[in-house]
Amino acid sequence: MNKFEEARINAGITVTELSREAKISRSTIDKMEKDEPVKAELAVRACKVLSQRFDHEVTYQSLDIKVIS
């Protein structure tokens, strides 16, 4: 389990909920959880949703999400 997946679970949000709220595909979330690179814009969207759940800012850098520049 990587930092991103751990954060998602600790936030109490499922992959389906995160996908819907962040407006990104489930496959993109799966990639992030498998340490595969995704577009930075999509990682930012996921982190914004997690930030709202945690009530503090979470960044893709802090979760070690690999991004495509």
Mean pLDDT of the region 1-29: 98
- Cβ-Cβ contacts under 8 Å for 3 (sequence gap 6 or more): 62, 63, 64
pLDDT tens digits for range 26-69: 999 999 999 999 999 999 999 999 999 999 999 999 999 999 97
Question: What distance in Å separates the CA atoms of residue 14 and residue 6, rounded to the nearest whole number?
Answer: 11
Q: What is the number of domains present in the chain?
A: 1
Q: Residue 33's domain is classified under what CATH number? A: 1.10.260.40
pLDDT at residue 69, rounded to an integer: 75
Range of the structural domain that residue 57 is part of: 3-68
Largest CA distance in the chain: 29
- pTM equals 0.94
pLDDT at residue 30, rounded to an integer: 98
For residue 62, give both structure tokens: 């802090």
